[in-house]
Chains A and B, each alone.
Chain A
């Protein structure tokens, strides 16, 4: 109960008046001579208990009446038993992110969440408007029955989804409903990674239910990748796992077979651990793979997928103009078995370019710039070298791994795209493209010598060169694209279908591809050939099941009013608490009248008598006759 004009509660002080009257009534100043006072004393003595009770009752009723009037004057609003709630717009947000599939006490957390949401829906009336929004943004509205059906079909996502976006969407639905009373009702496991930052919700009312369940110890595969993505034919599988104990058993599969199996050690008490398995499998082409842990309470993150392309080692040759660093690097690749000597892929200075595929370097001598651009034109490469830039520029690679490398360019040429240029920018210098890659070429904007760039003397150079060469050797094999379920990606050029691991194909149309909801490896296909891989894995953050406290969770929602309840019943009943609130003025006034009526009944006319002092006896005189 709250008050719209609480200052009037000061009137409650008037309740002291009947109390004082009750306490002081035996100290009344009026004195009346009454010869039969002995009978009065006897009557009071014999009926004192009854009189005291009646006086207490009268006093209580008077105090009650005063308090009711004071409370009524303060214009209270609150819930009234037996009165339904006003029409309400209810947008239910169910956080069905991967972590909600964790089994706690033999029951999935999502089951608890949907049960709570169902109890909220059960409390609605036909006048309410209801929606169901899940963490992936899916929205179902309409009748309560339809929403309850949809609620029954909610399944855990493979990733985190976008719970914050779902809440924003729900708030927008409530605001746009036109219903005076509205509430965004969120059911979540309260996972910290699901609610990383505060969500601005304007003046929306938010009621959050986060069941008070202890998250289980969780093991998870946080990363799985083939390094490099193209094996020629040797490579390694890198993994990072979250072990619930000091060790965890793992298995790596490749295609339909187990590539490796073992145990990875983790810090005492559990934590993250890395694993690396090298292999040179006999398979060729695109293959799916997994890194798996033993199943635990959260199954969804016990497997992580990766994809790789396996082919023969590329035959590489380095031209004279490529410089000593490039030639030495190629020789190192050949000696390491990651490449073969040959002319399948050339590493050349641009002015020496005669054929593709090639790794094209800027000429060391600016005088050769014209010849270089002519050679590019002849080879059909849609890029040209532009103006020379002198001065040190930091190189930033698009790949996260190499971006940390301390690479700089002192002399470089701007790379100018020509008509039809469609290439990935691999690295930038001073905000301008420095390395670009097409299907059959890779162009570097500097000569590979220490006077032009520090790249060839950095440790990252050789792996990058091996990857670039193998990519060029693979030609149109395509790339590995990683995505989370439900995301949208641009459709790679030239592909017309998405092939699942079971061989089924989904035709692709339009400019974008919707990432499948089910984790796994999918292959881009053109005709009957695989032209790249789409690896779908959940968000690694879902594996960290640490929960937010109630206060922390409350701070994540910046709405008009935010309530967080651990109890499902309390949460469900709080949803309509605001719309249950009615003015209590009339009931309080009625209560005051009833109290006064009861007081009058109890006092049986005493009120009239007490309105003035007792009529004093006349001063009797003798012999009045």
Chain B
């Protein structure tokens, strides 16, 4: 990949900088466009044989579906679309609890903002693959349910749903994941985007249920760098916005112990989710969106195999 080309790829931009450039819908498009432009070849496979319509060719589209006759006659580059082009039903489960609405630095997006951008981008990426994408938002209860669809306009509805109210007191992922399983129906893909500040056994049980139903599950664990490293300073009473737990501490005193504790927690999540058959990745809100997009795309490809 040439450096000059990468320099224009939005999926490699700093998330905060990118978010400042426009609405989530626009930004998501840039990100997905940039991401797709970075692929060496179009990953799309399994298009249905029943023709539906043409659409303009986009870089990355599989050349097998290019209509060479139209290209030869009218010098227009179009690809053929079919009625049943969607071969994957995916649901993005987004945690919108109060703990997500936090950032350790003004220079970074909150975990919620990052998650919403990421959800929009993943949805757009999947929709462009002719996959059906749905959305479930939850905090202490399920806030939004958008069934998976592959139709035009689904992405706009999904983006609009991201603006729904949320940020309740707590995160109860079990209900949301069960709802997502029901929405997906036949075996598909569930992507959980959350800071995972919740009980492990509860999440594990829900994910096991999803896996038992034949779904592929990918868990994207969002963490602010300050949560990972405790890069704060001074001493204060640290308050959990969801539970109200108050912990007086001197950062310098507990930093090492905290890092060890977080590492242990991440390892526990990794171990538990691996046992449950889920893909688990930690994401920093300081990372460009291209990283999680690649993870999500890989997961899709894995499902299609």
Contact = CB atoms under 8 A, between A and B. Distances in A.
A245 to B, nearest CB: 81
11 contacts: A30-B234, A31-B246, A34-B102, A35-B98, A37-B243, A44-B254, A615-B232, A620-B103, A625-B19, A625-B23, A625-B109
Q: Give 9 closest A-B pairs by Cβ, nearest first.
A: A625-B19, A614-B234, A614-B236, A35-B99, A606-B252, A37-B240, A43-B257, A30-B236, A620-B110
Contacts of A41: 245, 247
Contacts of B197: 35-36, 38
B235 A609 contact: yes
A46 B234 contact: no
A30 to B, nearest CB: 4
Interface string A607-625: 0111111111110111111
Contacts of A28: 235-237, 248
Contacts of B112: 620, 622
Nearest to B259: A43
Contacts of A617: 102-104, 226, 232
A318 to B, nearest CB: 119
B254 A47 contact: yes
A625 B162 CA distance: 13
A605 B251 CA distance: 10
A256 interface: no
A272 B241 CA distance: 101
Contacts of A55: 253
B101 A620 contact: yes
A25 B253 CA distance: 12
Contacts of B18: 625
Interface string A40-80: 11111011001100110000000000000000000000000
Interface in B17-33: 18-20, 22-24, 27
Interface of A: 25-44, 46-47, 50-51, 54-55, 603-606, 608-618, 620-625
Nearest to A30: B236
Given A606-B250, A610-B235, A622-B167, A37 B261 contact: no
Interface of B: 15-16, 18-20, 22-24, 27, 98-106, 109-110, 112-113, 116-117, 163, 167, 195, 197, 226-227, 230, 232-243, 245-254, 257-258, 260-262, 265
Contacts of A603: 252
Nearest to B238: A34
Given A614-B232, A624-B110, A25 B250 contact: yes
A618 B110 CA distance: 10
A31 B237 contact: yes
A268 to B, nearest CB: 82
Contacts of B105: 618
A43 B251 contact: no
Given A40-B254, A617-B103, A622-B112, A610 B234 contact: yes
Given A54-B253, A609-B252, A625-B113, A37 B247 contact: yes
Contact of B110 (A34, A37, A47, A621): A621
Contacts of B101: 620-622
A39 B235 contact: no
Given A35-B240, A41-B245, A618-B103, A625 B20 contact: yes
B240 A38 contact: yes
Nearest to A26: B248
Given A36-B227, A612-B234, A622-B116, 4 more contacts: A37-B238, A43-B260, A604-B252, A613-B236
A624 B21 CA distance: 10
Which of A43, A606, A614 gathers most chain B CB within 10 Å? A43
B237 A622 contact: no
Contacts of A34: 102, 227, 232, 238-240, 247
A605 B252 contact: yes
Nearest to B223: A36
Given A34-B238, A615-B233, A620-B110, A42 B252 contact: no
A29 B250 CA distance: 13
Contacts of B24: 623, 625
A51 to B, nearest CB: 6
A42 B254 CA distance: 10
A609 B250 contact: yes
Contacts of A35: 98-100, 102, 195, 197, 227, 240-242
